[in-house]
Each structure stands twice: as C-alpha cells, then as structure tokens.
Chain A
Amino acid sequence: MDIWAHHSPIQAPDQTRRRIRRLQLGLTMRGGQGAARALVLQFTNCRILRGGALLREDLWVRGGRILDPEKLFFEERRVADEQRDCGGCILAPGFIDVQINGGFGVDFSQATEDVGSGVALVARRILSHGVTSFCPTLVTSPPEVYHKAPEAASLPEAAGDFVIAPSLDVHSSNWFVVLPQIPVKSGGPHGAGVLGVHLEGPFISREKRGAHPEAHLRSFEASAFQDLLATYGSLDNVRIVTLAPELDRSHEVIQALTALGICVSLGHSVADLGAAEEAVRSGATFITHLFNAMLPFHHRDPGIVGLLTSDQLPPGRHIFYGMIADGMHTNPAALRIAYRAHPQGLVLVTDAVPALGLGNGRHTLGQQEVEVDGLTAYVAGTKTLSGSITPMDVCVRHFLQATGCSVEAALEAASLHPAQLLGLEKHKGTLDFGADADFVVLDDSLHVRATYISGELVWQAEETRQ
C-alpha cells in the first residue's frame, strides 16, 4: 500500500522508512488474510457520501474496510452477516482535524509526565464531534518540548504505545519531552487515530506570532534544515510543519521536509504573494488558518491569500487552506470569498485550544494563559484571539450555513480535503471501496448521532442508545 505516493522513489532516509512502517502497521492492520472470514456488516436505510454526492445506497463493511457488495455477491456468493438500520441518516467519512492544540483541559504543547494519556483523552472525547483522525498540534515551545537536551536522563523509547516518562525534577532543565510521546496511532474504541503531529512554529514571523511566545521563535538562516532538525530532534512522528516562507533559506527547508513526506504549511507570516508562490513551488501545500496571522489581502499584493487563485503554482497542483469556521476567527463574508474563489482546497480545522469542551475561565495554552468567555478564547489580558473552542461538527454546520454550500461540499471540507492534503485519500476521508471504515452517522441537520472507526461503533449519542 503506497500511501506516500508523492514520495520520491529513490531510497528514503531511515526516518522516513520508519515512519512508513509505523503508518503501514497502523493503517493496514485491518485487511489481510483474516479479513475474508470477518463478518460482513451492511448499513441500510441511509444516504452515503460517495463521489461528491449523497447516494441512497447501503454501506458494506468487512475487516474494518469498506466492501464492494457487488464483488461479494458475484465472486464470493455471500450476503451480509448483519444488517444495521441507520434510520434514514447520512453516513459521511469521519472528520479529520489537522490543527488541534488540545482540549478538555489537555494542552499538547505542555510538557507533562504523561503526554500520552492527555492525547488519549482528547482522542476519545473528540469522537463525539465526529472526528476519527487528527493531528495533535504543538505551538511554538521551548526546545525541550520537542526533544530531550543531551544532558537529560534517557527516557524509555516510545515503542508505538504511549509511555509514562519517569518523574524528573521540574526545576532542572530536564523537562519531559513531548514530541516523541505522540506517535502515529490507529483509531479505535479508545479514540480517534493520530495521523502525526502538526508542528506550528517556532519558525514563524515575529510580527504575526499571534498567541505564540516570542521568546521561543527561531529562524533557520544559519544552517537551514540542520537548524530545524536541531530544534525538533526526530521528525518520526511529524506530519505537518507550519513555517513562514519569508525566513531566509526557507526553500531548502521546505524542499527537505517535502522530500521526507512531511506536509509544509505556510502561516504566521508576512510573506508577499511572490514569496508564497516560491514556497509552493518548493513543495508547500497548505496554508495555516487562512486570513489569520498573515498579511491581509491587498489588491496589488494579495499575499498568501492570493495563492487561492494564483496561476504560478506547479501544473496539476492546487493549494489547500485551513479555515476556522467558527464565526469568529473569520467573518462569514470572508469565508464565502475564500470558498467561492477555491472550493476544492478548503479544509475545515478547529485550531482548538485546551479550553475546548470546558467552561468559562482561565486555562493554559503552550506557555501562556488564555481566558475563555462563552464561545471565544483570548490571550489573557488582551483581545488577541487565542484559538477556537468550537467542535468540528459545529464548524461543519456553521460552514454550511454561512456559505450556503451543499451538504456534500461541507462534509468533504472536513473529511476528503484534509485526507487529500495528507495524501491519504485512498484510505481516509472517503467511503470508496477499500477505504478504512471510519465514518460518522449524521442526521439531516448534521448533528453527530454515532461515530464508527474500522466499522466498529466507538461513540453514540445519548438518545440513540436504546
């Protein structure tokens, strides 16, 4: 299974081989020899999102994958072992959140002794929002969060499971290291799958840092990719890196990251359109929360926003852009402009902060404090927005209502487009035959009724639990 189709066929470095192996282990453990004998599930009385349309079809699942029923009928001469009536609901691919900083009191960027259980808690709780895969996001943090300093005591190797780091004196420089404790992991009843970490910073612009702490911003003008590696340590668990392309030597870095199969995103930047286009030609494919933390659109220099309609991009490629459709980070009119300019690239993200799912009050984000007031979160003491606390399904509903787009388009913005961004569209974000059976059951108003991962029910709304 080649999920890294855009990889160079030339021998990949060790890191990449390990990443491929880990992802393959995670994503291909379903299927295989036992699959043919597995139970065949048929979800009836539903509309499924397939090929960009809602079809009145049944969804067949076997061995954690979507099954082709015609093939089953004519080749294997089998019928379903179990039928489940979906009550006329919509079955959509599970949502994929590529930018989420934490939630339910958990801050991914904060070094604690047990990062793993924090990630697991969030992974479990976001199932109720319809999210079946996500990229835990680390904001700009001190280097110790990314990798251990050489003099620190050695930590047990993360072997694919979350480990509890031994307790160390927090007053010393031996902080708990976060990044190695967030490995790629398949989803299941325990929670949504981790596709890899999204590193948002520290290679970003000073002027557009937003809520990121200024003290830990860095650049890579000294030795480009080596600087980046020195900051992050290992890139094994990394899936997306957000950086500012106007930084010197960013092109080398972007090229090196792209060659490793890591998605490069442009954000927290004051780049003009020319620099942004150059970055895309070097391999960048994503824009982090469009409009926020970048220069505003100007008719003589559209800046990064101009990438949506740029004709200078490599042929056959288009840019993806994240949007926080919570009604606050972007004015609905701006959301509509972006959507109408480039509907195929819109990726819904939550950019959720640890206050997601909690009540009003003060909470911690990265190295700073934030204040939650109703549906808004600010950097404590200022009026700077500090991420969103809107769940993904609420974002989908708001997006649908604000843009007046079709239900199919709204659902694809939260599932298919992020999968395409990450090169996973054959297995995630789709209900095509052979894809992973990660899907969400929605009623007509797009409220989540149930969530399935690998064809297994992992969450169900209260009123349907009878």
Chain B
Amino acid sequence: RRPRRAGVYIRVLSFALRAPVGVAPRWPCVGCARRSSVGRASGPAGLNFLSWKLCITTMRLVILDNYDLASEWAAKYICNRIIQFKPGQDRYFILGLPTGSTPLGCYKKLIEYHKNGDLSFKYVKTFNMDEYVGLPRNHPESYHSYMWNNFFKHIDIDPNNAHILDGNATDLQAECDAFEKKIKEAGGIDLFVGGIGPDGHIAFNEPGSSLVSRTRLKTLAMDTILANAKYFDGDLSKVPTMALTVGVGTVMDAREVMILITGAHKAFALYKAIEEGVNHMWTVSAFQQHPRTIFVCDEDATLELRVKTVKYFKDPPPIVQIEPKP
C-alpha cells in the first residue's frame, strides 16, 4: 500500500478549523452566501478575505469541469488578487507568468476583464518564467512573441514593467542574475502563475533539476523538445535545445503560487506532483512545501489521481461549527 500523504489533508483541515468561530468559511466563493463545492465558483473567485488573513498555510486543489471553466477560475482569481491588493504608484503587484497552450484561456479571460474595464495592468509588473536561447526575439515561436500576441498587446501594461529573459544576450548567466536582481528589487513576486510539463517540470526545470535552483541556463530534455516540435513544423533540428528559466527556488520564493494543469496528458504529472513525494524528477512536487499553492485543474487532469483525493477536493467533508463554551 502506498503511504498516504497525511500532511496534505491535515493542512487542508487545519484551514477549515482555523476559520473564525461562527463564520462558515466560504470557500472559494467570496460574496456567495451558500457554501459551494470547490470548483463550482459561481461568483467572484478568491479566498474568503478573512480566512485568508488567518490561514497560515494552504495547499488547494481546485477541480473544474473543463478547460474553459478552469481558465475562468484562474483568471478570476488573478483578477481578484490584483484588485484586492489595490496597486498604485508606489505599490506594484508583481505577477509571474507562464507560456504554452495551457494558460491561453486564462489570458483570454484576463484580456476580457481588462476590456470590460474591471482590471487594469497599469500598476502590475510581470516576470515571465522562461525564454528559448538563440531564437530571434521576433520569431513567431519565441516567448516574447507569445506574450505580445496573447497578452501584452491587448492590455495597458507599461512596457518597462514587462520582464522577459533575453535568450540572445551576450552573457546568458549575467542575464539570469540580472533577472533575479530585478525580481528582488521589485520586492519579490506576489503571485507566480505556472504550468506543468508532461514530465512534471515547472518552467524549464527539467527532471533532475535542483529544487533550490535559481534562474539559469538549462538544456531541454528530449521529452520537451519532442513536445515542442509541433510548433517548429515538426522539424527537430529547428527546435531550440537550450533555454533560460527561473529556478524552482525562484518560484518557491514567491508569496503565492498557482499552477494550471489541464488535459489528460498532464494527469500523470499531477499525480506525481501531489500524491507522491517531493522529488527532483518531478520538480512541481516541490510546491508541496510551499506555504501557499493552488493547483487549478480540469477533470481530465485528475484521471490519474485516487478517487478519494478527487472527491475530497471536489466535495470536501462538512465543516463542523464549534460553539463557544458558555
């Protein structure tokens, strides 16, 4: 029998028990009077503000029915976090951003909220996770192009506040160190949004990466190169083999982390990330030790999880109200 990760469940329960007496924790719906099960967020998403303040640690697994709902949940969460932060001239919200096919829906939703006038990125600084080495900045597959076409060109972010690693810098390590310095000067990352590879990697921290690594140059694993080939006309020789990436340690330093995992091809990686141990072969598992992590996924991504785990997070046990003793 596999040993159970009791630690995870206790942390979740402790969240429930630490909720203030007499107040039913409204999770995840802020403003929604009835307690809805995780994943069926019908109102603005986000932690109950009060319980957020009291809660010290939480790992949450938010399971939505499909990709669109998962993207919407994640986008609403980011939107609410930014708004509740009340960013301003001297107070920027620092956001870490991913690339790839998974966050596209989330970006579309954020753009929609911006166009509706609900969300401004004027006082938001962004740091992207990674960038290919040797690919021209205006190449259609570079992450600069990705971020421009899928996000930056539709919003009102100041170009000086959008930071992406430069894969064509003359001194790559200096570029990485400068990136770390910029994050530090900005005051650290408030919310780092990430994805997961089929091999369980976060950013380009391939299996075998140190779990305390910092921003550096990495050689890509064959799995990743094969997965990327479809973006380069199926020609393996055109796929970049090296990339600059934030380290696992860099992301762990963020005050909050949200990992988006959708699709059946990520299911095994999700299983390894949360039901198995912390392991450098599945670098996302490091976030089991992060004080505040949310895994947002759709039904397909939970296919490799135990039914018990899924049921627990989708439909948590009833909260017991503790009456104060007279």
Q: Which residues does A use to contact B, with CB under 8 Å?
A: 58, 68-74, 76-79
Contacts of A76 in B (CB 8 A): 159
Identify which of residues 143-162 in chain B touch chain A, using a CB-to-CB cut-off of 8 Å: 144-145, 148-149, 152-153, 158-160, 162
Identify which of residues 139-184 in chain B touch chain A, using a CB-to-CB cut-off of 8 Å: 144-145, 148-149, 152-153, 158-160, 162, 164
Contacts of A70 in B (CB 8 A): 138, 144-145, 148-149, 153
B223 CB → nearest A CB, Å: 30
Distance of A77 Cα from B162 Cα, bound (Å):
9
B243 CB → nearest A CB, Å: 18
Distance of A69 Cα from B152 Cα, bound (Å):
11
Q: Tell me if A79 and B148 are in contact (CB < 8 A).
A: no
Contacts of A71 in B (CB 8 A): 138
Nearest chain-B residue to A69 (Cβ)? B153
B116 CB → nearest A CB, Å: 15
Chain B contact residues: over half helix, strand or loop, or mixed?
Answer: helix
Instruction: Given A69-B148, A74-B159, output 14 extra A-B contacts at Cβ < 8 Å.
Output: A58-B153, A68-B138, A69-B153, A70-B144, A70-B145, A70-B148, A70-B149, A71-B138, A73-B148, A73-B162, A74-B148, A77-B159, A77-B160, A79-B158
Distance of A73 Cα from B159 Cα, bound (Å):
6
Known: A58-B153, A69-B153. A74 touches B144 (CB 8 A): yes
Binary CB contact string for chain B from 119 to 145 against chain A (1 if under 8 A, 0 otherwise)? 000000000000000000110000011
Nearest chain-B residue to A60 (Cβ)? B153
Q: Tell me if B152 and A73 are in contact (CB < 8 A).
A: yes
Distance of A375 Cα from B135 Cα, bound (Å):
57
Q: Tell me if A79 and B153 are in contact (CB < 8 A).
A: no
7 A-B pairs closest in CB distance: A77-B159, A70-B148, A73-B159, A77-B160, A74-B144, A73-B152, A73-B148
Identify which of residues 241-290 in chain B touch chain A, using a CB-to-CB cut-off of 8 Å: none
Distance of A354 Cα from B270 Cα, bound (Å):
75
Q: Which residues does B use to contact A, with CB under 8 Å?
A: 137-138, 144-145, 148-149, 152-153, 158-160, 162, 164
Contacts of B149 in A (CB 8 A): 70
Known: A73-B148, A74-B144. A79 touches B159 (CB 8 A): yes
Distance of A74 Cα from B149 Cα, bound (Å):
12
Distance of A135 Cα from B135 Cα, bound (Å):
43
Identify which of B137, B145, B159 contacts A78 (C-beta below 8 A).
Answer: B159
Distance of A70 Cα from B153 Cα, bound (Å):
8
Q: Identify 24 residue pairs between A and B in the complex whose beta-carbon atoms are under 8 Å apart, listed by A's number.
A: A58-B153, A68-B138, A69-B148, A69-B153, A70-B138, A70-B144, A70-B145, A70-B149, A70-B153, A71-B138, A72-B159, A73-B148, A73-B152, A73-B153, A73-B159, A74-B137, A74-B159, A74-B164, A76-B159, A77-B159, A77-B160, A78-B159, A79-B158, A79-B159
Nearest chain-B residue to A71 (Cβ)? B138
Nearest chain-A residue to B153 (Cβ)? A69
Distance of A73 Cα from B158 Cα, bound (Å):
9
Contacts of B144 in A (CB 8 A): 70, 74
Distance of A58 Cα from B155 Cα, bound (Å):
13
A183 CB → nearest B CB, Å: 38
Distance of A69 Cα from B158 Cα, bound (Å):
13
Contacts of A74 in B (CB 8 A): 137, 144, 148, 159, 164
Nearest chain-A residue to B162 (Cβ)? A73
Distance of A74 Cα from B164 Cα, bound (Å):
9
Nearest chain-B residue to A58 (Cβ)? B153
Contacts of B158 in A (CB 8 A): 79
Distance of A76 Cα from B158 Cα, bound (Å):
12
Chain A CB within 10 A, most for which of B144, B149, B158, B159: B159
Nearest chain-A residue to B148 (Cβ)? A70
Task: Count A/B pairs, Cβ under 8 Å.
Answer: 28
Contacts of B138 in A (CB 8 A): 68, 70-71
A322 CB → nearest B CB, Å: 36
Distance of A73 Cα from B137 Cα, bound (Å):
12
Distance of A72 Cα from B162 Cα, bound (Å):
13
Nearest chain-B residue to A74 (Cβ)? B144
Nearest chain-B residue to A68 (Cβ)? B138
Nearest chain-B residue to A78 (Cβ)? B159
A271 CB → nearest B CB, Å: 45
Nearest chain-A residue to B166 (Cβ)? A74
Contacts of B145 in A (CB 8 A): 70
Contacts of A58 in B (CB 8 A): 153
Contacts of A79 in B (CB 8 A): 158-159
Contacts of B159 in A (CB 8 A): 72-74, 76-79
Contacts of B164 in A (CB 8 A): 74
Nearest chain-A residue to B160 (Cβ)? A77
Distance of A79 Cα from B160 Cα, bound (Å):
10
Distance of A70 Cα from B152 Cα, bound (Å):
9
Nearest chain-A residue to B152 (Cβ)? A73
Nearest chain-A residue to B137 (Cβ)? A74
Distance of A76 Cα from B148 Cα, bound (Å):
14
Distance of A443 Cα from B149 Cα, bound (Å):
26
Contacts of A72 in B (CB 8 A): 159
Contacts of B152 in A (CB 8 A): 73
Nearest chain-B residue to A73 (Cβ)? B159
Distance of A304 Cα from B158 Cα, bound (Å):
58
Distance of A387 Cα from B110 Cα, bound (Å):
56
A321 CB → nearest B CB, Å: 35
A66 CB → nearest B CB, Å: 15
Chain B CB within 10 A, most for which of A72, A73, A76, A79: A73
Distance of A70 Cα from B159 Cα, bound (Å):
10
Distance of A419 Cα from B149 Cα, bound (Å):
29
Nearest chain-B residue to A57 (Cβ)? B153
Distance of A78 Cα from B161 Cα, bound (Å):
11
Contacts of B160 in A (CB 8 A): 77
Distance of A191 Cα from B232 Cα, bound (Å):
46
Contacts of B137 in A (CB 8 A): 74
Nearest chain-B residue to A433 (Cβ)? B138
Contacts of A73 in B (CB 8 A): 148, 152-153, 159, 162
A208 CB → nearest B CB, Å: 50
Distance of A325 Cα from B148 Cα, bound (Å):
41
Distance of A17 Cα from B80 Cα, bound (Å):
64
Distance of A72 Cα from B148 Cα, bound (Å):
11
Chain B CB within 10 A, most for which of A71, A74, A77, A78: A74
Distance of A31 Cα from B181 Cα, bound (Å):
37
Contacts of B153 in A (CB 8 A): 58, 69-70, 73
Distance of A70 Cα from B145 Cα, bound (Å):
8
Contacts of B148 in A (CB 8 A): 69-70, 73-74
Distance of A68 Cα from B144 Cα, bound (Å):
14
B122 CB → nearest A CB, Å: 11
